[in-house]
Structure 1
Amino acid sequence: MTKKPKLEHSELSGEFTEDDVTVLVDIYRPAGTQQDWKMEVVTQNEDLFEWDEPFPTDREAFDEFLATVARDGIHSFLDEDDVPTTH
């Protein structure tokens, strides 16, 4: 049985809410290392979005998340069925 390595989570990790949509941004790397940071976004429906390339700093990872939200919108992380509609 393989043990999972302990992870160090960035203080930039956490919930992010925009337009009544909340996602969890998780930025992490193996604990006790100086390795690059990985990032994933988890939706309320537990859909997972992972970036393929790691980031040299946790700030660069979070800035990429913010750029994605600015460019594509927070709804880009949701399935079409999950997008809230207004009436």
Structure 2
Amino acid sequence: MSTEPEPQLIQSPLSQAITREGHILKVDIYRLEEEVDWVLEVVNETGTSHVWDDRFATDQAALDAVHEALDEEGITAFLD
């Protein structure tokens, strides 16, 4: 049995809620403490999670990707 501590999850200060067309999306940007790349997850109002396959070198790049997706695909891309 391993006694090594579980890696800590680092939450980006750029994580936020975005409101578009009356819908609220929860944007979570995080990484494990021993990793350098950031994970991007968007959760809609019904709890459906959309996690990007790509990882991001910076948390700002992850946030930019959300805005780009919203601008290109619209809010409906994240709704059920």
Give TM class, smaller chain: 0.7 to 0.9
Alignment of 1:32-47 (within 5 A): 33=34, 35-47=36-48
Q: Please list every run of at least 4 consecutive aligned residues from structure 1 whose deviation after the TM superposition is greater than 4 angstroms.
A: none
- Rounded to whole Å, the distance in 2 between the matches of 1:70 and 1:19 is 12
- Structure 2: which 5+ residue stretches go unaligned? none
Query: Identity of aligned pairs, percent?
Result: 37
Aligned to 2:71: 70
Q: Which consecutive residues of structure 1, in runs of 5 or more, have no partner in the other structure?
A: 80-87
Query: Quick one: which amino acid aligns to residue 71 of structure 2?
Result: A
CA separation in 1, counterparts of 2:8 and 2:44?
23
Instruction: Give the superposition deviation at 1:34.
Output: 5.2
TM-score, normalising length: structure 1: 0.80
Q: How does 1:1-87 map to 2 (within 5 A)?
A: 5-31=7-33, 33=34, 35-79=36-80
AA at the equivalent of 2:30: Y
Counterpart AA for 1:14: Q
> Which residue type is aligned with residue 69 of structure 2?
T
Q: Partners of 1:74 and 1:5 in 2: how far apart? A: 33
Q: How many residues align?
A: 78
RMSD between superposed Cα atoms in Å: 2.0
